[in-house]
A and B are shown apart, each in its own frame.
Chain A
Amino acid sequence: MPQLQLEDITLGYGRALVIDELSLQVRPGELVTILGANGAGKTTLLNGVAGLIPVRSGRVLLDGENLTGLPPEQLVERGVVLVPERRELFGSLSVETNLRLGGYRQKAAGAKTLERVYTLFPILAERRIQLASTLSGGEQQMLALGRALMGSPRLLMLDEPSVGLAPKIMREILEVISRLRNEGMTILLVEQNARLALSLADRGYVMEIGRLVLEGPSSGLINDPRLSQAYLGGATDYAAAKAAAYSD
């Protein structure tokens, strides 16, 4: 039974329709990546699954349980945790407070999980009393990931964790993600850096303007010419439109 199943999801902001009848699945223990150029709708998709945007039609199922329409706090309780693109940390609170708040719904396991997060990210332990806003970009990303882990997720979703980070830190974070997958966590990773994401993932989907255009095991995708086309173009034929502009 797949861990996460999206069936014909349609969602968008206000009147704008961003995702149009999209279906995908993530099996237990898999690391699946969603690739695509900026503007393809990847963030919107994750926000919809996390309950931040209403799902207009379709279903979101976790282990067969229908989660469609639940507010974010209840999704977190059921183990669906998102690390958003902008991290959304509490800048004026300390690192440790940020982490503890991540464990808000899992109060019982709190102390143990905190220790685990500190083991994964020693630098956070070092800076535990510092305010979150004083951390560097990479450290903030680690904090965001650590905070998400405090929620003991069954499904961890990451929205472009590598954006704006120096390559070295990027690798550190992706290493942690890989470690988590090896320990059996189910992960849905949205990334712009296709090569890096595919080097970690089991399978990948490629999105373009709200729809999936490509999917398959990562080894296959890496060499697929259609992948670079999704990023660097080549699919639409603009010749006629251009010609018309110069003809009259």
Chain B
Amino acid sequence: METVLFLLADGITSGAVYGLVALSLIIVYTVTRVVNIAQGEYVMLGALSFASALQGVFPPLCMPVVGALAAFVVVDLLNRHTSRAEKIRLLTMRAAWIVGVLAMNYAAYRSTGSYWLAALASVATTASLGPIVHRVSVEPAPNASQIVLLIVSVGVYMVLHGTAAMLWGTEPRSVPPVADGGVAIGPVFVTYQSLCICLLSLTAMVALYLFSERTLVGQALQAVAINRVGAQLCGIPVRWAGRLSFAVGAAFSAFSGLLLAPLVTANYEMGFVVGLKGFVGAALGGIVAYPTALIGVGLVGTIESFAAFHASALRDLIVFLLVIPILLWRNAVKPPQDHGH
């Protein structure tokens, strides 16, 4: 019984992390229709930035991101079609954004070991990468088919993966947990980190839910996902929506990287498998619906835990093989609808 509870707790913890990644994939997919193979890389970049900041090193990702943002400001200012007022507004907002990112990273660098500053800086920087990637890899080809955009995202994966290795090398970096030790819940001993993961993931998901359902901006993103033409007719700029969805996706993935890092170290290869499991969870749960996706990832995490315990070699196999019967069942119960774009 103890074992079962332990595995369950373990499964829920993994599930929570995969859940954040699943949500990232869902947001990106529903708004832009891109299946983002590179999503896991944001997990890794967030974790590594976090590790750097905690060790008192100026996060290496900051300058490339700031540089790209600045380059785009220049490009946008040179655009003849925008009005002067628009340009001034754009310049002010972008400048604030750049200064903000720089400031957070600098603050984190200066106060070595400050958990929260480091977390803030790494999430903010990685999130800022999202819109940059969207501009570079999605906007130039608005009529490309989904499979082409998928392969383009593979290219993005390669760029991000290689860049991470250049910036951080391939050695894993350990990251201290939020707090050492843990607490006994019934017969099971749960570490504070695991508790933190579950609580913070839940908070993040609730925050996302509130954002999507209660704020106009969040509703506007949903609107673009539900009916692109309708959103355009409301004056919602779809390109901006795409960039925002990439930003939110990157933020959530980076956040999950922070939570995961103390458990598995911040390492260069962490993105791929986490991304994949997040993908499976998202798709199982229904790639367009937030709540059910969480059930999906919970399922993935739990199955994985139990499978690892009983037959570790076949762990991954069982998880991925179970995908097909589950898909068949879901397809029979409620086939995926084509949210026309």
Q: Which A residues are closer than 8 A to B by beta carbons? A: 50-52, 71-73, 76-77, 81-82, 84, 87-93, 97, 100-102, 104-105, 107, 147-148, 151
Other A-B contacts than A72-B233, A90-B231, A104-B235, 7 sampled, CB-CB below 8 A, are A51-B232, A73-B232, A77-B235, A87-B230, A89-B227, A89-B230, A90-B226
Residues on A with C-beta less than 8 A from B227 are 88-91
Q: Is the CB of B233 within 8 A of A104?
A: no
Complex A-B: 26 CB contacts under 8 Å = A52-B229, A52-B233, A71-B237, A77-B235, A81-B233, A84-B229, A84-B233, A88-B230, A88-B233, A89-B230, A90-B231, A91-B226, A91-B227, A92-B226, A93-B222, A93-B223, A97-B219, A100-B219, A101-B219, A101-B220, A101-B231, A104-B216, A104-B220, A104-B235, A104-B236, A107-B216
Partner of B226, one of A76, A84, A93, A151: A93
Within 8 Å of chain A (Cβ to Cβ): is B321? no
Given contacts A88-B227, A92-B226, contact A101 B216 (CB under 8 A): yes
B193-231 interface bits toward A, Cβ cutoff 8 Å, 1 = contact, 0 = none? 000000000000000000000001001101100110111
Residues on B with C-beta less than 8 A from A151 are 234-235
Interface size on B, residues (CB 8 A): 17
Q: Is the CB of B234 within 8 A of A102?
A: yes
Residues on A with C-beta less than 8 A from B230 are 87-90
**How distant is A144 from chain B, measured CB to nearest CB, in Å?**
9
Cα–Cα distance between A102 and B227 once the two chains are bound (Å): 13
Cα–Cα distance between A97 and B214 once the two chains are bound (Å): 9
Residues on B with C-beta less than 8 A from A107 are 216
Residues on B with C-beta less than 8 A from A73 are 232, 235-238
Cα–Cα distance between A100 and B232 once the two chains are bound (Å): 14
**How distant is A89 from chain B, measured CB to nearest CB, in Å?**
6
Residues on B with C-beta less than 8 A from A72 are 232-233, 235
Residues on B with C-beta less than 8 A from A148 are 233
Q: Which B residues are closer than 8 A to A by beta carbons? A: 216, 219-220, 222-223, 226-227, 229-238
Cα–Cα distance between A147 and B219 once the two chains are bound (Å): 14
**How distant is B167 from chain A, measured CB to nearest CB, in Å?**
37
Cα–Cα distance between A82 and B233 once the two chains are bound (Å): 7
Cα–Cα distance between A41 and B235 once the two chains are bound (Å): 24
**How distant is B213 from chain A, measured CB to nearest CB, in Å?**
8
Given contacts A77-B235, A107-B216, A151-B234, contact A101 B229 (CB under 8 A): no
Residues on B with C-beta less than 8 A from A50 are 233
Q: Is the CB of B223 within 8 A of A90?
A: yes
Residues on A with C-beta less than 8 A from B226 are 90-93
**How distant is B286 from chain A, measured CB to nearest CB, in Å?**
13
Chain A residue nearest to B233 in the complex (CB): A82
Q: Is the CB of B232 within 8 A of A101?
A: no
Cα–Cα distance between A89 and B230 once the two chains are bound (Å): 6
Given contacts A88-B227, A100-B216, A104-B216, contact A76 B233 (CB under 8 A): yes
Which residue, of B216, B220, B234, B237, has the highest number of chain A Cβ atoms within 10 A?
B234
Chain B residue nearest to A91 in the complex (CB): B226
Q: Is the CB of A104 within 8 A of B234?
A: yes
Residues on B with C-beta less than 8 A from A147 are 234
Cα–Cα distance between A147 and B235 once the two chains are bound (Å): 11
Q: Is the CB of B222 within 8 A of A90?
A: yes
Residues on A with C-beta less than 8 A from B229 are 52, 84, 88
**How distant is A219 from chain B, measured CB to nearest CB, in Å?**
33
Q: Is the CB of A105 within 8 A of B223?
A: no
Query: Top 6 nearest A-B pairs by Cβ distance?
Result: A76-B235, A88-B230, A72-B232, A105-B235, A73-B237, A73-B235
Residues on A with C-beta less than 8 A from B216 are 100-101, 104, 107
Partner of B234, one of A52, A71, A101: A101
Chain A residue nearest to B235 in the complex (CB): A76
Cα–Cα distance between A101 and B234 once the two chains are bound (Å): 6
Chain A residue nearest to B222 in the complex (CB): A93
Q: Is the CB of A101 within 8 A of B237?
A: no
Cα–Cα distance between A24 and B222 once the two chains are bound (Å): 37
Partner of B219, one of A71, A77, A93: A93
Cα–Cα distance between A162 and B236 once the two chains are bound (Å): 26
Q: Is the CB of B232 within 8 A of A52?
A: yes
Chain A residue nearest to B241 in the complex (CB): A73
Chain B residue nearest to A69 in the complex (CB): B81
Cα–Cα distance between A93 and B236 once the two chains are bound (Å): 16
Residues on A with C-beta less than 8 A from B223 are 90, 93, 101
Residues on A with C-beta less than 8 A from B236 are 73, 101, 104
Cα–Cα distance between A197 and B203 once the two chains are bound (Å): 54
**How distant is B170 from chain A, measured CB to nearest CB, in Å?**
44
**How distant is B226 from chain A, measured CB to nearest CB, in Å?**
5
**How distant is B65 from chain A, measured CB to nearest CB, in Å?**
27
**How distant is B241 from chain A, measured CB to nearest CB, in Å?**
10
Cα–Cα distance between A82 and B220 once the two chains are bound (Å): 18
Residues on A with C-beta less than 8 A from B232 are 51-52, 71-73
Cα–Cα distance between A93 and B219 once the two chains are bound (Å): 9
Cα–Cα distance between A107 and B216 once the two chains are bound (Å): 9
